[in-house]
Structures are given as C-alpha cells and as structure tokens.
Amino acid sequence: MAYEKAHACDICGRTYAHRVSMTLHRKVHEGVTRCTLCGRVCSKVAHLRTHLHRVHKLSGPEVRRLVPTRPRSVPYQDDIMFGGSVCSVCGRRFQHELSLLHHMKIHQGLTVCLLCGRVNNRVADLRKHLRLVHRLSEQEVRDLVPSLRQRTPQRPDGTQPACGDV
C-alpha cells in the first residue's frame, strides 16, 4: 500500500506521509540534530542521543546535558497530531487510548521477564520472548504470564470469590 506524501518540508521540499515525520525532520534544519562534538548531522534527535552515547561514550546525564529533553510541562507544538492520551507516570503521549493502556502495563511490571529481567513493550512481546528465548511451551508461558481472564482475584485459601463477593 503506497502512502500519499502530503506533508512537505518548507525548507528543502522533502515530503512525508505523516505530519509527525515532517515535524521531526525539520529539526535537522534547525540544527538541533547536529553533534557538537564531531559535527555529524543525525536525522532525528533520538538518533543524536544514541550517537553521543555509542560513538562518544557519553553517560545518560552527559547526553541529556548536551541534548536536553523538552520539559514535560511544555505542551507539544501541535497537540492535535499526538492526541490527548498522556501517561500519568512518565508523561509520554499517545495518539490512541489503547496504546496508552498497553504502555501502562510496563509501569505495572506486567511486561518484565521473570527469568532474565528484560522489560518488553507489551505483554504479547513478553510471551513471544519467553517462547523464543527461554524455549518455554505455550502452557508454561500461560502459567508465567496469565491472560486478563486468568487474573481473577483469589482468596488466601486458593478459592475464587463469587461475582460481587470479595
């Protein structure tokens, strides 16, 4: 499926299918993505941070000092393109409410592998990780990462309360 590239950079004319991509691209022209240590121009601010960490071996605080993040209290330039779903824990914004609900599972610890400590983006990714990396069977994965239907509350004696009875 081909996307129509309806968003053009008013400086260089490069076109993008999504306004978000074009907005990120414009930071190249603003000089925000240029490495102050070697002059390399990265395509995104996130890539510049990775470059500083990997190439120049800077620590996280050093990278943030050179390329500060926008304070969470400062609104996005165009909130329409990001939607109104905001994580109450870390301030990350989501275009779709469902994406925020999946993201919240990270903060709830529901996406952490109990075998190796890896944090996955989604519960489905955790299940896949357990099958592929740790070679667990489907039943073993279900036992370690129960589905929402299996997470019903249990009494200390192991019995489940009746509906409305807790």
Check: CB of residue 131 under 8 Å from CB of residue 141: yes
Q: Which two tokens stand for residue 151?
A: 């997470």
Residue 121 has what pLDDT? 84
Instruction: Kindly report the number of other CB atoms within 10 A of residue 145's CB atom.
Output: 21
The whole-angstrom separation of Cα 147 and Cα 158 is: 18
User: Which residues make Cβ contacts (< 8 Å) with residue 112, sequence separation at least 6?
Assistant: 118, 119, 120, 126
Answer yes or no: CATH 3.30.160 is held by domain 7-66.
yes
Q: d(Cα 32, Cα 63) in Å, to the nearest integer?
A: 13
Q: Is the pLDDT score of 5 beyond 50? A: yes
Q: Return the domain boundaries, the chain.
A: 7-66, 80-109, 111-149
pLDDT digits (tens, 9 = 90+) for 56-88: 999 888 888 888 775 444 444 444 444 578 888
Kindly write down the DSSP assignment for every residue of 11-63, as one continuous string: TT--EESSHHHHHHHHHHHTTTTB-TTT-PBPSSHHHHHHHHHHTS---HHHH
Mean pLDDT of the chain: 79
**pLDDT class for 148, splitting at 50, 70, 90?**
low
For residue 140, what pLDDT is reported? 94
Contact (Cβ atoms closer than 8 angstroms) between residue 106 and residue 121: yes
